[in-house]
Amino acid sequence: MELKYTSTRDNRIRCTASEAILKGLCDDGGLFVPVELPKLPVSLADICTMDYRECAYTVMKEFLTDFTEEELRSCIERAYDEKFDTKDIVPLRQAGGAFYIELFHGKTIAFKDMALSILPHLMTTAAKKNNVKNEIVILTATSGDTGKAALAGFADVEGTRILVFYPKDGVSPIQKLQMVTEKGKNTRVIGVDGNFDDCQTGVKAIFSDKELALRLGKKGYQFSSANSINIGRLVPQIVYYVYAYSRLLKDKVISDGEKVNFVVPTGNFGNILAAYYAKMMGLPVKKLICASNENKVLFDFFRTGEYDRNREFILTSSPSMDILISSNLERLIYHIAGNDPEKNASLMAALKRDGKYEISPFMKEGLTGFEAYYASEKETAEKIGSLYEESGYIIDTHTAVAAAAYDKYLSDTGDETVTLIASTASPFKFAGSVMSAINRNLEEKNEFELAQEISSLGGVKIPPAIEEIKNAEIIHKTECKIDGMMEEVERFLS
């Protein structure tokens, strides 16, 4: 049976998985959602015997039903290969009373690689299937990690070009260096004089500019998105929740059917939404714990039922979570409204108009499987320090937000359920913040010297992603104002 996708704002829309991947965003501004959420096709005991790729195929084929087995397996094999520095692809590490799902073993050492190593293959396959002759132009707004992961994924991929906008003062030094040294001939990287929400809003506006699309279509271009609103990113992220569960089952840490908690450091709500979809597929999950940094708009939403972005945007040490408009939350809103596009559309209109909306008591009931906590900058740093002292394990700032949130959940509930924390970035990527949290006197050291310190303290080799930017040439120097983004797009394509 073919699974169709519809819009969160209009249920008359129907398209295939490959069409949804190509488009990224629906024409009406809504997000693509599967008309029905599939169930896991095999038992968890069966999944225990699979490696990462086989697990990926088993989960993804239920969502991408118009891809042939050969096509999908080929995408998976080209994505999850030696680019990852471990054969397990996603190893688990036990420390301080929880299991860390290490999602950062790909090329750019953040969890974005999990989806962005496969998205270019899904997209070029989808283009072939739909007889698309245009060159695909990937437009991306990044809070730091998506940018480099998308550049790495799409660099020199035939039939594609990629343009990345990042907030020029809102990313870590390593994140910035990773992007501006990108060598791919089909790439461009631009620093925007604004924050991540400005970049994301700008990109969305360019996407929905029909006149521009028409003009570019004549020149042989069409836009698509590598942001986490694309189901081609969401679906690969479901895999590692299923896989992580199966590893614990295989190692007899849990018994078949035993529920676990997942804690997810959250920004745009993509990663935790994938965990929610895994649960809907039948994965035994007790609580999904949504962890925020000081930009705690989601924490407030889960506590009160009101989403309110009218607040100060705070730059934190976990920049990939510095977000006030969590795009993927729209999908959850749609589902908890009973897959109701009118209800969702009216709330999204309110968000656009007033910067806020409030859900009904009926919808609030749909949130019972979630818990929300947040960690301040101080709590985040303290968690990095205490976990290191206790176990020798060094985590990055984003993962630490989740770990600190979990501590608060534990002290509130005493819940003894086995818990997995999504570890979304390597500590090497945020060396400055991580090392100052471990409280060494390192003021004079640069990011590369700090990486050396992390390596010695944690007993982990410096990843190639860090080594390769050390002496790399800076290629991308362009910066623009928020209202200059459109012009940069036209210049890139002229």
Tally of CB atoms within 10 A around 280? 16
Give the nearer residue to ligand PLP in terms of CB position, either 67 or 154: 154
Could you say whether residue 271 binds ligand PLP (CB under 6 A)?
A: yes
Which lies closer to ligand PLP via its Cβ, residue 268 or residue 433? Answer: 268
Binding range to ligand PLP, per CB under 6 A, among 23-31, 114-122, 159-167, 265-273: 265-273
Residue 228 contacts ligand PLP per CB under 6 A: yes
Q: How far is the CB of 66 from ligand PLP (least distance, A)?
A: 25
Instruction: In whole angstroms, give the CA distance from residue 57 to residue 62.
Output: 9
Element housing 34 (H / E): strand 32-34
Cα–Cα distance list, 341 to 30, 277, 334, 460 (Å): 9, 19, 6, 48
Active site residue 61: no
In whole angstroms, how close is the CB of 290 to ligand PLP at the nearest point? 9
Output the smallest distance, CB 110 to ligand PLP, in A: 4
371 token code pair:
């818990």
Residues between 302 and 321 that touch ligand PLP (CB under 6 A): 320-321
Q: Residue 269, Cβ neighbours under 10 Å: how many?
A: 22
Nearest to 108 by CA among 143, 140, 69, 151: 151
One DSSP character per residue, 165-233 reads EEETTSS-HHHHHHHHT---TTEEEEEEES-HHHHHHHHHHHHT-HHHHHHHHHTTEEEEE-STTSHHH
Judged by CB under 6 A, the residue of 124, 230, 424, 455 near ligand PLP is: 424
Sign of CA dihedral 443, 104, 195, 264: negative
Closest approach of Cβ 396 to ligand PLP, in Å? Answer: 7
Residue 196: strand, helix, or coil: helix
Catalytic residue among 4, 61, 112, 296: 112
Is residue 200 a contact partner of residue 474, using CB atoms and an 8 Å limit?
Answer: no
Interaction pattern, residues 80-119, with ligand PLP; x per rule: CB under 6 A: ------------------------------xxx-------
Asked if 267 interacts with ligand PLP (CB under 6 A), we say yes
How many binding residues for ligand PLP (CB under 6 A)? 17
Site for ligand PLP in 112-151 (CB under 6 A): 112, 145
Classify strands 419-423 and 260-265 as parallel, antiparallel or unpaired: parallel
Q: Which is nearer to ligand PLP, 113 or 488 (CB)?
A: 113
Residue 227 in the binding site for ligand PLP (CB under 6 A)? no
Pick the closer one to ligand PLP by CB: 42 or 314: 314
Q: Which of 413, 489, 426 is nearest to 454 (CA)?
A: 426
340 class by beta-carbon count within 10 Å (0-12 exposed, 13-18 middle, 19+ buried)? middle
Binding mask 321-340 for ligand PLP (x = CB under 6 A): x-------------------
**Token match 């609103």: residue?**
229
Q: Is 279 helix (H, G, I), strand (E, B) or coil?
A: helix
Only segment of 218-226, 266-274, 407-415, 449-457 that touches ligand PLP (CB under 6 A): 266-274
Closest approach of Cβ 450 to ligand PLP, in Å? 18
**Quick one: angle between helices 119-129 and 145-154, nearest 10?**
50
Among 84, 241, 245, 269, binds ligand PLP (CB under 6 A): 269
- Where does this chain touch ligand PLP (CB under 6 A) — which range of 88-96, 261-269, 357-365, 478-486? 261-269
Smallest separation, CB 493 to ligand PLP (Å): 27
Helices (H) and strands (E) in the chain, counts: 22, 16
d(CA 322, CA 253): 35
Distance CA 319, CA 231 (A): 23
Nearer to ligand PLP, 67 or 104 (CB): 104
List binders of ligand PLP among 389-418 (CB under 6 A).
Answer: 398
Site of tokens 């029909």: 210
CA distances from 350 to 190, 321, 330, 354 (A): 31, 23, 12, 6
Which one of residues 30, 270, 427, 463 is an interface residue with ligand PLP (CB under 6 A)?
A: 270
Min dist. Cβ of residue 198 to ligand PLP (A): 16
Smallest distance, ligand PLP to C-beta of residue 380, A = 12
Q: Which C-beta is closer to ligand PLP: that of 265 or that of 341?
A: 265
By the 8 A CB rule, do 350 and 363 touch? no
Active-site residue numbers? 112
Where along the sequence are the contacts to ligand PLP (CB under 6 A)?
Answer: 110-112, 145, 228, 265-271, 320-321, 398, 424-425
